[in-house]
Structure 1
Amino acid sequence: MSNSPVTNSNGPARIEAAKFEPLSSKKSVRSIGINPRLCLVVTLLALAAFCAWFMLTAKAVYIETEPSNADVDISGTLKLKLANRYLVRPGAHGLSLSAEGYHPLQEMLNVTTEAAQHYIYRLEKLPGHLLIDSGAVTGAQVLLDGVSRGETPLDLRNLAPGEYAVEIRAERYFPFRAEVMLEGLDREQSLNAELKPAWAEISFASEPPDAQVFSRDEMLGATPLTAQLLEGRHEVRIKAAGYKVWQDSITVVAGEPQAVTGIRLEPADAALFLVSSPARANATVNGNFLGLTPLEVPLTPGEATRIRLFKQGYKPAARSVTAKSGEQKRLSVTLEPELVPVVVRVEPGDAKIFVDGAPVGEGNRTLQLSTNKHQVEVRKQGYVDYKTTLTPHIGVDHELVVRLKTVKQAKLEALKPVITAPAGQTLKLFYPGAVTMGASRREPGRGANETLRNVKLTRPFYLGQTEVTNREYRLFDKGFSSGVVRGNSLNGDTQPAANLTWEQAARYCN
């Protein structure tokens, strides 16, 4: 049906409603389709563009690591690994390095705009561990670089990589020394030390048996005997009651056993055990030096044996001993000090005297001292202590004169007569005394207040030998000026500093 208006010849035009007809559900609607091939092409083009952009803007970064097998991780950015290089865009990126046996490393990798860049990183090795064993000899002391670290078997943990000097010590064994290179990397290394004995087995046999064996005054046991003696020379004595002492020296070589056999002890006629007070006095028997006390002296029965003892600082002592066959005697001798008079004169007269730390009195006196070295002190409150060493000699007159100094006097005497000030001036010391200040009436330019008067100085002081120059004063006050007189400058470096106030001078001196 047409929608156009209809005209009527008999009257005005009339508009008629058009009939509404809904669309039929059977009529199809045309849809828009998506081409998969076109989408794939667009995606590939976008990816190619991105890759081209990345390749053009990224920089080649060569990361060299020690160790070379360290794992490298660059975070926070797009990266491409090509052989041993990385393509990375400029900027700051997180860098993580790790390797077995090394401390991990976290760094910031700052990639610049340069085309090729090279970075070197060294990882720090983890500590190592050292196991030290000395085999059958346990409890040996271990020193690492001279410092004791414990006893074997020893497990030393977390040692820094590097070279160490190892020394292992055990009583009666030779020290073991070795240089150990510790690789670290959290690995365990072992050091097995074989300590070599520093002794040898020495066998002793005597007739009669059951005799006592001594080495260096140490009793080893009774014969027959096998003893372990340290390497070196040993003075060996073998004795039994009623027999003469057998003595000899043997040289022991470590690891080489020896047999000292065929020893026949001779019946002793008599013996004397000699002691002295003080000990270690020199002893002679019938004019022959025998040794230091205490010691055992063989005696000939029925004959008088002359024994003489002497020691520095003591009077010689002589004894005569007679013994019967087989008799055992003991002789104890007390040596008398050998005294020498020493006259001591002190000022002040009531000062106290000390010898070897013990008080002996006060004032002038005569001391009886042995011929040994002595420490002599003189003390009095308010005075400086006097100390000296004195070794008296027989036949020599000894007189010690001591004048104590007061503390004040000692301080004065300790002052140097001439010193150098910080600015380089030479200052001379002046001791306390009386001085006249001011000027006489006849002196030109005298002020009204410059009357002559006596002044007593109570403390020592230092006075410069020359005036303070401008250069010296400017070390204290850089802006100082001495001024001008009649058009002439007074500011020369070597000219005396002038136009100073009393306060300026006092501050400079202080």
Structure 2
Amino acid sequence: PGASVTVDGRPIAGKTPVEVEVAAGNRHEVRVSLPGYRTWSDYVAVKPSRKLLVTARLEKVRQLAGGRLATFNLRSMPPGAAFYLDGKRLRGNRITLKPGRTYNLTARLKGYSSWSRKITPRPGQNESVEARLVPSQSGAGPAIVSINSKPWATVYIDGALVGTTPVANLKLLAGKHRIRLVNSELKAEKRFTLELRSGQRVVKKVEFAKGKLLVKANPWAHVFINGRKVGTTPLPPQPLYEGRYKVVLKYPPLGREEEKTVTITEGKTTMVTANFLK
């Protein structure tokens, strides 16, 4: 208990144990961190209308006679580089090192010059290291890609987390790249492929499609969508981005309310009904 959680790169409010709604059928990256313990991460997929219990077993950072270990979280820009420590390839994107000596960290990616940095760990140090790679002089240069979306989304390129929209001037090698945009609040995602040429500049604007929500209540009800009051019935159809929403209908005279989870689909109208006089 008491650990911090991120899902698809987005921090979740509160500390464990927490309950998080995610889009069913998709794989989601879950990371759990707690000071003094190694960060835990895994990919999970949830079936529709089901709950999945995820248990993260955190490993305590081992104490050394000469002081605590140091932890480094590794990433590259562009993503996908392989990391080497003193010439030995690393598995994963996190390393734990003993203080008291200097290490040589290297990142390599085809089409880019090698990146290297000397690391001298300090006891208890916890640091993120980003290798910013420069295209090699031989051969053609990279493509430059910018991605924006409405509403916001977390961006993954070839499976690697890049950031949250808008992301600008990403340098990517020529060829095909798999792009995934995830909005954890809407429980929605978009996937597409970019085929890039050397030196090409691409600006990609993505808009999550919209559908409508129609609410009917007998005799009437206050309507809340994802915790925000949108009005009192009768209401015209509400335009919403595709995704999952929690709809709460409240009828104060009888102190009654109903809660439903609905999925908004592109170009379609989804109906929610309630009869408080039954």
Under TM normalisation by the shorter chain, which class is it?
Answer: 0.3 to 0.5
- Higher RCO structure (Cα 8 Å, ≥6 apart): 2
Higher Cα Rg: structure 1 or 2?
Answer: 1
More strand per residue = 2
TM-score for the superposition, normalised by structure 2:
0.44
More helix per residue = 1
TM-score for the superposition, normalised by structure 1:
0.27
